[in-house]
Chain A
Amino acid sequence: MDKPATPNSFRTGPDEQGMFGIFGGRFVAETLMPLILDLERHWNEVKNDPDFKAELQNLSTHYAGRPSKLYFAEGLTKHLGGAKVYFKREDLNHTGSHKINNCLGQILLAKRMGKKRIIAETGAGQHGVASATVAARFGYPCVVYMGATDVARQSPNVFRMKLLGAEVRPVTAGHGTLKDAMNEALRDWVTNVEDTYYLIGTAAGPHPYPELVRDFQSVIGSEARAQILEQEGRLPDTIIACVGGGSNAIGMFHPFLDDRQVRIIGIEAGGRGLDGIEHCASMNAGAPGVLHGNRTYLLQNADGQIMDGHSISAGLDYPGVGPEHSWLRDSGRVEYVPILDDEALEAFQLTTRVEGIIPALESAHAIAHAVKIVPAMDKDQIVIVNLSGRGDKDVHTVASMLGMEI
């Protein structure tokens, strides 16, 4: 494949067909096609509607707690002895992660469309909790599909969803992870077309989801950009975020894409190493293919069957990635590198001890990469890591990895 020519701007996608270069698109069953076109119509109406923006802004401020802080991680900076490390504190948002940004936007969209029922898929449970939260706030019944493996390893989040009034339906197909949950959510949607809004949690799926999720999450990067200019008087040298489906990363990256001097790094789940099949590094070890409504990099075999993958973190345990990331990878604007389970676990413990912040295992992947590159950088350089979520949900997983009982 030819490398695409460097565009004048990296921020203009997708095109009218929902494509980012060869990636993205609308690969869905005919039953869903009219629904997706209807969603696109409503999305195009609201995205420049001042009333919609004002309502979202109000909720973001008073309900979710935005803007999230840009925090100078002095303890980690001293420990690493290189560039200054900042954390974008999405972990401080209501519900404990960046997921609320997208859920607030989409629930307002669902309300505009007159939908009566919310469905969602979830991996780590962060999106499930955020969906159940906005459904409770706006009075919608909510069904969350969650892989059975994830139900077991993220039990605190399962309980939170139930408290919030959502029905959690465990999915036993495949390895019982995010991919299988997404299949089941699509099956629900194709069955309940009249009244149901599918609240996708990541910047993937058929157009217009990758675009609208990105736009709702771009508040992360827009704030971070303004905050670093205010606090340091200049842009950062490097920004880092973890990539599962990639919604926190695209939200962080998108406002910086045309700042060519800013190095942008996305972190994939390297699991137990890229030599075998126990990882979720689709952009480092996969190939372009079509799944869940879009063309993107996927972990798959030579026959085009999708592999299950593995990650210590349920939120990164997905064999694909949002299509815009695939395009950014091929265009060379963003680097994507893997971090192993063990490296993430170490970064999780380090951050807890030197910063007094328990990061989500997903976010710990991004921190782990900072731990690798920061010591070799100059002291006047700046790195921003997106701390996409808090790690309370992961304490059981970490305890068992460390051989402890709680």
Chain B
Amino acid sequence: MTTRIDRRMAKLKAEGRPALVTYFMSGDPDYDTALSIMKALPKAGADIIEMGMPFSDPMADGPAIQAAGLRALKGGQTLVKTLQMAAEFRTSDNETPIVLMGYYNPIYIYGVDRFLKDAIASGIDGLIVVDLPPEMDEELCIPALKAGINFIRLATPTTDDKRLPKVLQNTSGFVYYVSMTGITGSALADTNKVAAAVKRIKGHTDLPVCVGFGVKTAEQARTIGANADGVVVGTAIVNAVANVLGPKGEKTADPAEAVATFVSGLSQGVRSARLAAAE
């Protein structure tokens, strides 16, 4: 079964460039603004959208994404509304893959079967659930695969060659390589090390490998994209939203426009990535 993710990745491979995977926090700072941000992403050059599902206790996230999640929850965001937002997006875009990213508890409380059914109905293509390692595959990964939703796994610098096959076993869509040990938004790791790690993972799988954690600029996107199938940018996009919010959360400029401007720059970075590889 091919998914929107598979089709998009195949298309980009044919074009000879890496994917730009953009993360935004659904509901940040409110539902309507977040939906307008989501709609602006593909136009600005995003190839795949990661929708953050806000959680009260995001243990793997740095201060920027923690704050974005809290703004979203304060704005009344719930998992029900996140799925609704995806469904609204799908009425005008049936091609751009959507990956939900977050933590397990809201899904567990929603109910795994009900969640998968509603996620498919809302046009969700993949899931990244940070606190579900392969040891817990029976919880959601296997049911998601059976339902036809990609379960995208994180591989990290601590995932050695012995462990990689276990991590890759039930992974589909793409592999998300976390460039360093740490929380989201930390400093970018040494690009040579990242390139070597991507090569190592590719030795174990035919799936595309996207790299994230720490990519903040177009230049970094270009450099990382030279050796990866995709570049994931999250914290920097979330910051673009935060930068146009005042101390009381009031908007000082249009967040969707701020995000679009920033993502356009990133997009130029990944589009010249293969030139970087040839240099």
B183 partner residues in chain A, CB cutoff 8 A = 187, 190-191
A33 to B159, CA, bound (A): 8
Is residue A273 contacting chain B, with contact meaning CB distance below 8 A? no
Contact of B155 among A27, A30, A293 (CB under 8 A): A30
Q: Check A34 against B160 for contact (C-beta < 8 Å).
A: yes
Considering only CB atoms, which chain B residue lies closest to A34 in the complex?
A: B158
A292 partner residues in chain B, CB cutoff 8 A = 57, 59
Considering only CB atoms, which chain A residue lies closest to B82 in the complex?
A: A303
B55 partner residues in chain A, CB cutoff 8 A = 304-305
Flag A296-326 by CB within 8 Å of B: 1 or 0 each: 0010101111100000000000000000000
Q: A29-B131, A29-B133, A303-B79 are in contact. Are A290 and B57 (CB under 8 A)?
A: no
Q: Check B135 against A26 for contact (C-beta < 8 Å).
A: yes
Is residue B14 contacting chain A, with contact meaning CB distance below 8 A? no
A293 to B79, CA, bound (A): 21
Q: Check A30 against B104 for contact (C-beta < 8 Å).
A: no
Q: Check B158 against A28 for contact (C-beta < 8 Å).
A: no
B131 partner residues in chain A, CB cutoff 8 A = 27-29, 290, 293
Contact of B60 among A174, A187, A287 (CB under 8 A): A187
Contact of A33 among B57, B103, B106, B133 (CB under 8 A): B133
Is residue A271 contacting chain B, with contact meaning CB distance below 8 A? no
Stretch at the interface among B33-41, B93-101, B107-115: B107-115
Q: Check A305 against B158 for contact (C-beta < 8 Å).
A: no
Q: A190-B181, A190-B183 are in contact. Are A306 and B57 (CB under 8 A)?
A: yes
Shortest CB distance A67–B (Å):
38
Is residue B216 contacting chain A, with contact meaning CB distance below 8 A? no
Q: A187-B183, A300-B105 are in contact. Are A30 and B167 (CB under 8 A)?
A: yes
A203 to B158, CA, bound (A): 26
Q: Check A290 against B60 for contact (C-beta < 8 Å).
A: no
Is residue B186 contacting chain A, with contact meaning CB distance below 8 A? yes
Is residue B163 contacting chain A, with contact meaning CB distance below 8 A? yes
Is residue B16 contacting chain A, with contact meaning CB distance below 8 A? no
Is residue B86 contacting chain A, with contact meaning CB distance below 8 A? no
Shortest CB distance A172–B (Å):
11
Q: Check A305 against B56 for contact (C-beta < 8 Å).
A: yes
Q: Check A31 against B181 for contact (C-beta < 8 Å).
A: yes
User: Which residues of chain B from 131 to 160 have a CB within 8 Å of any chain A CB?
Assistant: 131-136, 153-160
Is residue B182 contacting chain A, with contact meaning CB distance below 8 A? yes
A287 partner residues in chain B, CB cutoff 8 A = 109
Q: A173-B66, A190-B181 are in contact. Are A29 and B154 (CB under 8 A)?
A: yes
Please report the number of residue pairs spanning A and B whose Cβ atoms sit closer than 8 angstroms.
114
A291 partner residues in chain B, CB cutoff 8 A = 57, 105
Is residue A220 contacting chain B, with contact meaning CB distance below 8 A? no
Q: Check B133 against A28 for contact (C-beta < 8 Å).
A: yes
B80 partner residues in chain A, CB cutoff 8 A = 303
A156 partner residues in chain B, CB cutoff 8 A = none
Q: Check B182 against A26 for contact (C-beta < 8 Å).
A: no
A179 to B57, CA, bound (A): 8
Considering only CB atoms, which chain A residue lies closest to B60 in the complex?
A: A29
Flag A30-57 by CB within 8 Å of B: 1 or 0 each: 1111110000000000000000000000
A192 partner residues in chain B, CB cutoff 8 A = 181
Q: Which of B108, B133, B163 has the most CB of A within 10 A?
A: B133
A17 partner residues in chain B, CB cutoff 8 A = 135
Considering only CB atoms, which chain A residue lies closest to B106 in the complex?
A: A304
Q: Check A290 against B108 for contact (C-beta < 8 Å).
A: yes
Considering only CB atoms, which chain A residue lies closest to B77 in the complex?
A: A303
Contact of B136 among A27, A31, A193, A303 (CB under 8 A): A27
Q: Check B158 against A183 for contact (C-beta < 8 Å).
A: no
Is residue A375 contacting chain B, with contact meaning CB distance below 8 A? no
Q: Check A304 against B110 for contact (C-beta < 8 Å).
A: yes
Q: Check B108 against A289 for contact (C-beta < 8 Å).
A: yes
Is residue A25 contacting chain B, with contact meaning CB distance below 8 A? yes
Is residue A186 contacting chain B, with contact meaning CB distance below 8 A? yes
Q: Check A303 against B106 for contact (C-beta < 8 Å).
A: yes
Is residue B220 contacting chain A, with contact meaning CB distance below 8 A? no
Q: Check A35 against B59 for contact (C-beta < 8 Å).
A: no
Q: Check B73 against A191 for contact (C-beta < 8 Å).
A: no
Shortest CB distance B65–A (Å):
11
A302 to B110, CA, bound (A): 8
Is residue B130 contacting chain A, with contact meaning CB distance below 8 A? yes
A259 to B134, CA, bound (A): 38
A62 to B65, CA, bound (A): 48
Shortest CB distance B86–A (Å):
16
Q: A25-B136, A28-B133, A190-B183 are in contact. Are A306 and B105 (CB under 8 A)?
A: yes
Q: Check A190 against B108 for contact (C-beta < 8 Å).
A: no
User: Which residues of chain B from 57 to 75 have a CB within 8 Å of any chain A CB?
Assistant: 57-60, 62, 66, 73
Flag A274-293 by CB within 8 Å of B: 1 or 0 each: 00000000000001011111
User: Which residues of chain A from 187 to 213 have a CB within 8 Å of any chain B CB?
Assistant: 187, 190-194
Q: Check A31 against B108 for contact (C-beta < 8 Å).
A: no
Shortest CB distance B163–A (Å):
6
User: Which residues of chain A from 1 to 38 have a CB within 8 Å of any chain B CB?
Assistant: 17, 25-35
Residues of B participating in the A interface, judged by any CB pair closer than 8 Å: 55-60, 62, 66, 73, 78-80, 103-110, 130-136, 153-160, 163, 167, 178, 181-183, 186
New A-B pairs, 20, CB < 8 Å, besides A17-B135, A30-B159: A25-B135, A26-B136, A28-B133, A30-B156, A30-B178, A31-B154, A31-B157, A31-B158, A31-B182, A33-B134, A186-B60, A190-B181, A287-B109, A292-B59, A302-B109, A303-B80, A303-B109, A304-B105, A305-B106, A306-B56
A-B contact pairs, 19 of them (CB 8 A): A25-B136, A27-B104, A29-B130, A29-B154, A31-B154, A31-B157, A35-B158, A183-B57, A183-B58, A183-B59, A191-B182, A191-B183, A298-B105, A303-B79, A303-B106, A304-B79, A304-B105, A304-B106, A305-B55
Residues of A participating in the B interface, judged by any CB pair closer than 8 Å: 17, 25-35, 173-174, 179, 183, 186-187, 190-194, 287, 289-293, 295, 298, 300, 302-306
